[in-house]
Amino acid sequence: MIVLGLGSNISNTVHTREENIATAIRLLGNHPRISIEKVSFLYETEPVGLKEQPSFLNAVIAINTDLPPLELLTICLATERQMGRVREVRWGPRNIDIDLLVYHDVEMTTTVLELPHPRMPERKFVLIPLAEIAGHIAVYKGKTAQELLLSTIDDSQVNVYGAINPSGQAATLE
């Protein structure tokens, strides 16, 4: 299974947080070598790490692709750029964040890409949507998202916010 994490905590009058997530899904799904297989609910989540920032909307998606991990990362970063993301504070506010969480059973640590995503076990905003779409699949050191949830130290709030239109119809890129 290949899983991406999506997050947004900046909205404006043109693009709401949910539109930002839907737009990212639509752009990724438009790639000729990527198909979107599953989309979790949207969750409203308390900021983790840097707490003094607006709450996030988070979701995860399962995709199918023959792109190798580094090429997939490049596409995720290009999609963020296409959506006008400006990198400022680490762990700070962003209109869109696309993380590569799981790429089958690949384990790698390079300066540009770590798999599986190393901070997954301490992020309920990832584990809860992951448990929803892939609860019984080993995602991190042989553990499922459900198992990781039982031992996570993260006690932040994560609440269902709504469903995403998987085709991203409601969202437009101006």
Ligand X SMILES: Nc1ncnc2c1ncn2[C@@H]1O[C@H](COP(=O)(O)OP(=O)(O)OP(=O)(O)O)[C@@H](O)[C@H]1O
Ligand Y SMILES: Nc1nc2c(c(=O)[nH]1)N=C(CO)CN2
- Active centre residues (catalytic): 85, 94, 97, 99
At its nearest, how many Å lie between ligand X and the CB of residue 92?
7
Check if the beta carbon of residue 9 is closer than 8 Å to that of residue 53.
yes
First-to-last alpha carbon distance for the chain, in angstroms, is: 32
Given the DSSP bridges, would you call strands 97-103 and 108-109 parallel, antiparallel or unpaired?
unpaired
C-alpha distance from residue 32 to each of 67, 73, 114 (Å): 10, 15, 25
Q: Does 161 bind ligand Y (CB under 6 A)?
A: no
**Which residue lies nearer to ligand X by CB, 141 or 172?**
141
Check if the beta carbon of residue 98 is closer than 8 Å to that of residue 4.
yes
**Which residue lies nearer to ligand X by CB, 68 or 170?**
68
Query: 157 is in the binding site of which of ligand X, ligand Y, none (Cβ under 5 to 8 A by kind)?
Result: none
Site string for ligand X, 99-138 (x = CB under 6 A): xx-----------xxxx-x-x-------------------
C-alpha distance from residue 52 to each of 28, 46, 66, 76 (Å): 30, 10, 39, 26
Site string for ligand Y, 74-103 (x = CB under 6 A): -----------------x-----x------
- Which residues are at the interface with ligand Y (CB under 6 A)? 7, 45-49, 56, 58, 91, 97, 125
